[in-house]
Chains A and B, each alone.
Chain A
Amino acid sequence: MPAATVVEVQNLVKRYGDVVAVDNISLKVKKGKILSFLGPNGAGKTTTVEILECLRSPSSGIATVLGLDVSNSSDQQKIRQRIGVLPQSFNTFGLLTVKENIEYFISMFGFRKQTDADSLIRLVDLEDKKDAHYRTLSGGLKQRVGIAIALVNDPEVIFLDEPTSGLDPKARRGVWSVINGLRDSGKTVFLTTHYMEEAEALADSVIIINNGKIVAEGPSSELIVIHGGARSIVLKEPGDSIVKAIRAWNSNTWFDGNSIKITMNDGSDVAKIVDLAQEYEFDLSNMDITKPNLEDVFLRLTGRTITEDGGTR
Chain B
Amino acid sequence: MLMVLFGGIFSFSGDGFDLYVQNNDIMENGLATPLSESLIRTLNSTQAFDVKMIPPNQDMESLIHDKNAARILMVPKGFQSDTEMGSSIVLLRYDQSQASSSSLVGIVKSVLDGLNADIAGIEPIVSLQEENMVSNSLRFIDFFMPGVVGISIMTTGVFGAITTNTKYRTNGVLRKLATTPLGKLEWLSGMVFYQLILSILGAMLVITVGTILFGIAIRPTILTLLILLSGGLAFPGFGMIVARLVKNEESADAAGNAVTFPMMFLSGTFFPLDAMPEIVQIVARFMPLTYVNEGLRNSMLLGKPEAAFGNAIIVLLFAFVAIVVGSLITSWRDED
Contacts and interface: CB of A to CB of B under 8 A. Distances in A.
Contacts of A255: none
Contacts, number: 44
A53 B334 CA distance: 10
A54 B333 contact: yes
Interface string B292-336: 000000000000000000000000000000000000000001101
Given A16-B336, A55-B334, A108 B176 contact: no
B181 A109 contact: yes
A63 interface: no
Contacts of A16: 336
Contact of A92 (B176, B181, B334): B176
Interface in A275-290: none
A54 B182 CA distance: 13
B29 interface: no
Interface residues of B, number: 14
B179 A87 contact: yes
B180 interface: yes
Nearest to B181: A80
B333 A92 contact: no
B16 interface: no
B173 interface: yes
B176 A91 contact: yes
A105 interface: yes
A80 B179 contact: yes
B178 A91 contact: no
A107 to B, nearest CB: 10
Given A91-B171, A91-B172, A56 B179 contact: no
B180 A80 contact: yes
A114 interface: no
A109 B333 contact: no
B65 interface: no
Nearest to B336: A16
Given A91-B173, A93-B173, A85 B333 contact: no
Interface string B186-197: 000000000000
A149 B172 CA distance: 14
A110 B172 CA distance: 23
Given A54-B333, A55-B334, A56-B336, A108 B181 contact: yes
B173 A92 contact: yes
A34 B129 CA distance: 96
A56 B333 contact: yes
Interface string A76-110: 01001101010101111100000000000100111
A92 B178 CA distance: 12
B67 interface: no
A156 B196 CA distance: 39
B176 A90 contact: yes
Contacts of B333: 54-56
A67 to B, nearest CB: 19
A90 B172 contact: yes
A55 B178 contact: yes
B181 A89 contact: no
Contacts of B179: 53, 55, 80, 83, 85, 87
Greatest chain B CB density within 10 A among A89, A91, A146 is at A91
A57 interface: yes
Nearest to B186: A108
Contacts of A149: 176
A91 B176 CA distance: 7
A311 B333 CA distance: 28
Interface in B175-213: 175-182
A90 B176 CA distance: 7
Contact of A87 (B176, B181, B182, B334): B176
Contacts of A77: 181
Interface in A52-79: 53-57, 77
Contact of B182 (A55, A91, A92, A108): A108
A235 B181 CA distance: 54
A149 B177 CA distance: 11
Contacts of A55: 175, 178-179, 333-334
Contacts of B176: 85, 87, 90-92, 146, 149
Nearest to B178: A55
Contacts of A85: 176, 179
Contacts of A87: 172, 175-176, 179
Contacts of A105: 180
A192 to B, nearest CB: 15
Greatest chain A CB density within 10 A among B176, B177, B182, B333 is at B176
Given A81-B181, A146-B176, 6 more contacts: A55-B175, A55-B179, A55-B334, A77-B181, A91-B172, A110-B181
Interface of A: 16, 53-57, 77, 80-81, 83, 85, 87, 89-93, 105, 108-110, 146, 149
16 contacts: A16-B336, A55-B175, A55-B179, A56-B333, A56-B334, A80-B180, A80-B181, A81-B181, A83-B179, A85-B176, A85-B179, A90-B176, A91-B176, A92-B176, A108-B181, A109-B181
Closest 5 CB pairs of A and B: A91-B172, A85-B179, A108-B180, A87-B175, A80-B181
